[in-house]
Amino acid sequence: AGDPEAGKGKIGACAACHGTDGKGTAPIYPNLAGQSAAYLESAMKAYREGQRSGGMAALMNPQAQGLSDEDIADIAAYYANLEP
Amino acid sequence: AGDPEAGKGKIGACAACHGTDGKGTAPIYPNLAGQSAAYLESAMKAYREGQRSGGMAALMNPQAQGLSDEDIADIAAYYANLEP
């Protein structure tokens, strides 16, 4: 599983839209706080593999492409660990 | 915007994985309670248009294909309205 503490240092770009508290900074950006880590990992990997093209995928794909599996696990753990 | 009360009558299939309370019934199913309605609509439409192929898309695409825009708005409003 990911390390939320390590994730804290990797969410700089994510926080612009998803907040450091995991609350979307605009309605179209999903809240991530308290979301299931397994789902967050699966969603980030889908963006990374180019398996999503609707909605904000155009913005998310390049973000996810820069992430390793470990980064994805840590970022997922960070947001899953937050109070919704 | 969608009508949460109408949405309550349309979430039979959704609740199998996302719960009537919006809490995923297994880690891979995302929690939807308190999620942004705009995001939920955009995600359901992406599944409906076949713009998602990763993760649970194989399961979500057929579910979403049966939904009208009004259904999607009502279902999104129902889950967005729940306490996370």
Mutate to test the interface with A, among B40, B53, B72, B81 (most CBs of A within 10 A): B53
Residue partners of B78: CB distance under 8 A and separation at least 6: B2, B4, B7, B8, B10, B11
pLDDT of residue A54: 83
* Contact flag A36-B46 (C-beta cutoff 8 Å): no
pLDDT tens for residues B17-45? 999 999 999 999 999 999 999 999 999 99
Task: Enter the ipTM.
Answer: 0.90
Residue B72 burial (C-beta neighbours within 10 Å; 0-12, 13-18, 19+): buried
Which residue of chain A is at minimal alpha-carbon distance from B46? A54
Helix, strand or coil, per DSSP, at residue B62? helix
- Within 8 A of A38 by CB-CB distance, chain B residues are 27-28
pLDDT tens for residues A20-68? 999 999 999 999 999 999 999 999 999 999 999 988 899 999 999 999 9
Structure letter (DSSP) for residue A7 = H
Contact A75, A44 (CB under 8 A): yes
Q: One-letter amino acid identity for A66? A: G
Per-residue pLDDT for A13 more than 90?
Answer: yes
Write down the mean pLDDT value for chain B: 96
- Within 8 A of B22 by CB-CB distance, chain A residues are none
Banded model confidence at residue B55, pLDDT cuts 50, 70, 90: confident
Residues 11-40 on A with a CB inside 8 Å of B are 24, 27-31, 33-39
Domain that includes residue B22, residue range:
4-80
CATH of the domain at A59: 1.10.760.10
Count of domains forming chain A: 1
